[in-house]
Structure 1
Amino acid sequence: MTDDRCEELADEITASGDLRSPEWRRAVLDTPRHEFLRGGFFRREDGGGRTGWEPVRPGDEEWLPGCYRNESLVTQIAGTVVPTDLDGRIYRLPTSSSTLPGLVVRMLEELNVRDGMRVLEIGTGSGYSTALLCHRLGDETVTSVEVDEEISGRARVALGTVGHHPDLVVGDGLEGHAANAPYDRLIATCGVLDIPAAWPAQVRPGGQILATVGGWLYSSELAGLTVGEDGTATGRLLGGQVSFMLARPQTPPPLGVLPDLGDGPERESSVPWDVMDDWTARFVVQLAAPAGPRSGRRFRGG
């Protein structure tokens, strides 16, 4: 049954154009995603103007089919809460997920890896993408960094279950992992406000970095960069409105007491307020102010 589900998933992401090469198809076919979701996932529930999350656990009717949908599946809420921790609904923000397989595979295809290359993955998460890398390149070539010790531990168990034993590191992925450098490729499965200096410093000249660049306006794009002989990295945006949770050290602070928006001089804007509803417009604004959150308040007559 699992083989059939893996094949159906591979067929779906092949049809979408995300899966293009036989090597990555073989990796998808041989990697049972449900092994990386043994702790369950959260189902989104919207109602009453609020977004809540309800646990789906092994044994639930929708758990196994859900594991093989081409969707991102939330696996942790509020930094600590996992599906086995509660019954009912929770109204907090997701903090970890198993990324939709189509996006994972698209990014792996974009890496343009070759046999023997050494890869640094930023954000182990469930371990599913780590397993695909190990299948394609070999466990000894893969280093994966995860900031959350419990998430890393669960990924280690899942990876071992499917026969993979890469170098898993608990630490701040923004610092990379210099001990195993230099790398031929670096892939980030979390969003960043900018490319940390440590990343190109740990990738050999000619090597590539693939990361999602965004900000607190929650508009982001996938960037493909090549490291030069001088240690700088240049490249282009690859498109597709790719979105990941921001790296935890770069997440915005919780909403507190806002400043008095009625205090101070006022001036009319030359652009309408709703321009910020556009993904591209928000992304362009973030280029100037990645750590600028969006807030609003309607005044009388406004």
Structure 2
Amino acid sequence: MDWKPYAERLAEEIADPVSRWRPLVSQTPRHALVPRWWERTPGGGWVLHDGPADPEKWTSTAYSDRTLVTRVGPLHADHAENGQTTTGPATSSSTHPGLVIQMYRHGRLAKGLDLLDIGTGSGYGTALAAGLLGDKHVQAIDVDPYLEAAARERLDRMGLHPDLVTGDATGPLPRTYDRIVSMVSVWPVPASWLAALRPGGRLVTTIANTSAILTAWKTEDGRAVGRIERDWAGFMSTRHGDDYPTGLGGRIEELADVDGDHITQGRYPVLNLSEAWELRSMLELAVPGVETHYRQDGRRRTAWLLHQDGSWARASATFIDPPVVHQGGPRRLWDVLERIRHRQNSEGGLPLYGSRAEIAQDGAVHLSRGKWTATIE
């Protein structure tokens, strides 16, 4: 397979001509790390694609700047049958190359620094980091033993030998580091990360169920101080088993036509919060653990907010008309969202991105910008 022209084209797309990442991207055979992957079907499930069975699609897909899902629920693409379909949440992937480089840039990587790469996945990001820093300066960790074994074998064939370990990255870490860059999201920051980060070291991660990128420098007293970047990214959350816990989506049909305890007319149009990243992030800070769901049937839009405490909201309207809002349970979730949207409209923005962040030794993150404060704990 003549993959190098594809890799060079990808490098030109995601890295500037003077970027130190451009030659690394152009020289890294991503297809060798992702021989099989899952793609979404129109019905919302997944279908397996086998690279060697379709080399043209393999190269064009592997060298596109897109995330390739390699694991759905407990089923890795390597273990599925050709053409097999499945359902469930994505549980591992090869992150799209542009985002990998974006996170490493936030990490301020430099020669001689020791990096912990959290969330090995396919090993593609680890390959780029090892190419920049050298094998002995890169350690990667993933909770899935198969992912580690497959990545190690494939990286070995590429002549790269970083230290790959299997373990729960939210627990004690193997050693200490100058840089920790996480390709999975957390809430809050695990205390073990600060313990393993050397004074003066830098941490980069995303906050679970938000698009917020948190960067911070560790201080001599064991804290870390930084900010929520004026940038955004989304990653899967850390997991502690083969799959994520079952969500609340099953309640949607149950609540499809139920009257709420509280019925009002909403102020703002219904939207898909999974695509309104800033609003979704602020809602998560206000109501940690809230789930968002959205459905559109022609011009009819319906959104649900669900929480484990039993709170729920359903808003439905035609296109941008004011919605009818039904709410139940101990909290008025749609009211919380409308307050956030009102703030955005009245002030011209929201305070999360660009806010100051202070991470305590226990991992709690204290955010502030002007008079606004929030805590992730």
Same fold (TM over 0.5): yes
Q: What is the distance in 1 between the residues matched to 2:261 and 2:121?
A: 46
Render the CA deviation track for 1:43-99: whole Å, top value 9, x for unaligned: 2222xxx31211111221411221111110111111224255132422222111101
Change (3 A) 1:110 1:263: same
Deviation at 1:291, TM superposition (A): 2.2
Secondary structure of 1:291's match?
coil
Q: What is the distance in 1 between the residues matched to 2:3 and 2:250?
A: 50
Q: What is the aligned partner in structure 2 of residue 76 from structure 1?
A: 71
Deviation at 1:292, TM superposition (A): 2.8
Maintained 8 Å contact 1:276/1:282: no
Stretches of structure 1 lacking an aligned partner (at least 5 in a row): none
Q: What is the distance in 2 between the residues matched to 1:26 and 1:221?
A: 29
Does residue 115 in structure 1 map to residue 111 in structure 2? yes
1:198 is aligned, of 189, 192, 207, to: 192
Q: Which runs of 4+ in 1 moved over 3 A?
A: 19-22, 249-276, 296-299
Stretches of structure 2 lacking an aligned partner (at least 5 in a row): 293-305, 307-312, 317-323, 326-377
Change (3 A) 1:229 1:10: same
Q: What is the distance in 2 between the residues matched to 1:252 and 1:292?
A: 14
1:290 is aligned, of 288, 305, 317, to: 288
Deviation at 1:247, TM superposition (A): 0.8
AA of the residue aligned to 2:53: G
> Which one has the bigger helix percentage?
1
Q: What is the aligned partner in structure 1 of residue 233 from structure 2?
A: 242
Q: What is the aligned partner in structure 2 of residue 6 from structure 1?
A: 7
Identity within the alignment, %: 34
Q: What is the distance in 2 between the residues matched to 1:116 and 1:152?
A: 24
Change (3 A) 1:21 1:173: farther
Q: Greater CA deviation, 136-145 or 21-30? A: 21-30
Q: What is the distance in 1 between the residues matched to 2:164 and 2:261?
A: 53
Deviation at 1:22, TM superposition (A): 3.8
Maintained 8 Å contact 1:44/1:51: yes
Q: Which has the larger radius of gyration?
A: 2
Deviation at 1:143, TM superposition (A): 1.0
Q: What is the aligned partner in structure 1 of residue 277 from structure 2?
A: 279
User: How many residues matched?
Assistant: 289
Q: What is the distance in 1 between the residues matched to 2:189 and 2:129?
A: 22
Secondary structure of 1:62's match?
helix
Q: What is the distance in 2 between the residues matched to 1:76 and 1:173?
A: 19
Does residue 53 in structure 1 map to residue 54 in structure 2? no
Change (3 A) 1:267 1:95: same
Q: TM-score, normalised by structure 1?
A: 0.85
> Which one has the bigger strand percentage?
2
Secondary structure of 1:174's match?
coil
Q: What is the aligned partner in structure 2 of residue 229 from structure 1?
A: 220
Deviation at 1:275, TM superposition (A): 6.6
Deviation at 1:269, TM superposition (A): 8.6
1:99 is aligned, of 95, 99, 123, to: 95
AA of the residue aligned to 1:121: D
Q: TM-score, normalised by structure 2?
A: 0.69
AA of the residue aligned to 2:132: R
Q: What is the aligned partner in structure 2 of residue 125 from structure 1?
A: 121
Change (3 A) 1:255 1:83: farther
Change (3 A) 1:196 1:160: same
Secondary structure of 1:92's match?
coil
Change (3 A) 1:289 1:227: farther
Q: Greater CA deviation, 186-195 or 262-271? A: 262-271
